[in-house]
Structure 1
Amino acid sequence: MDGLAATLRALPPSCGPVRLIAVDGHAGSGKTTFAARLSGTLGGAPVLHLDDLASHETFFGWVPRLTEQVLRPLSQGRTARYTPYDWHRARFPPEPESAASLPPAPVVLVEGVGAGRRALRPHLACLLWMDMAAEDSWHRGRLRDGPVLAEFWDTWTHAEMTHFAEDSSYSFANFVVRRGELGYEVRKGPAGGR
């Protein structure tokens, strides 16, 4: 992790003063856990969870919100402010009630399915892909969420397959990350390490 963190810090900024790093992969592949670990190794780099921008109505329709509320301010060196989606109430709460902020730190992580999608790639300094087969990832996610969300997972897996069929980010990954018994293994991805 220390070597990866050093590599990411050395990259040129990609979104204003920010080095925007995407952590992409299938749902259940460990993106959130890995991003938290990487954030700690980077000294507390801010993390944006794409689940905060998605919704029940549109799993992958968050690009306009991301562009307006996050990318535009960060590219101008300003703190981004956005309202995280409430998955339990199935709505975006009123903004003042639960607005979140994302400072224009030297490194900002964006984690979630689709973090390396076509619309974001021009703003990324680096794309990391969590190396786990879709079926294994989804099985882990279903175990994590339990039978209460089984119907959600049925809908989600179809949407995710459709998304990656139309906009595959794996082939653009600079690094591929696999969780091993001794921690994370990082190797060059299809697009090559930077």
Structure 2
Amino acid sequence: MEENDHSIIRAVLTGDKEAYGKLVVRHSPTVFRVAFRITGDEADAEEVVQEAFLRGYQKLESFESRSEFGTWIYRIAVNCALNMKNKRQPAANYQIAEDADPTQHQVQVADTAADPERLLLSQEIEALQARAMQRLTPTERTAFILRHMEARSTEEIAATLHIAPNSAKQAVFRAVQKLRRGLAPLRVNA
């Protein structure tokens, strides 16, 4: 039978420092996934995972056993990822050059074969999506990722970002509105 997180934490706190590795192995995939979605870079995401688990280990005594370790380490990881993102992209770098043709209102998709045109179109769509995500504030981006990619509740988003639940809802709403505007060139008229 697999040990639960709380029993592993008790073991770590009573001197079995090696037991923490079980928590790392168990929760690393989730932490990496959210870190990668926030940072957009695999190496940065790996660094966030290491930093989050290091901070978690250092603050393990402050962990309140009434909550879940997974949620707690997830919050630490989100904060680490946001900190890294802010360090890597100072406020002055948030201006995005407009490359999209404003007269282009439709995107024609080629057949399912991966020919050069389709590959180019996929690259253009990815670039448009990336630009749209970059236009979001760090709070909006994280709230959007947590809600629509990680399926987290408004309360979890609010707790993770240290904001009121209403502010979390507004951040998700603003993100969705900005993304819709940013991805408008992808709409196909039916």
Q: TM-score range by the shorter chain?
A: under 0.3
Greater per-residue helix proportion: 2
Higher relative contact order (CA 8 A, sep 6+): 1
The structure with the larger Rg is 2
TM-score with structure 1 setting the length: 0.24
TM-score, scaled relative to structure 2: 0.25
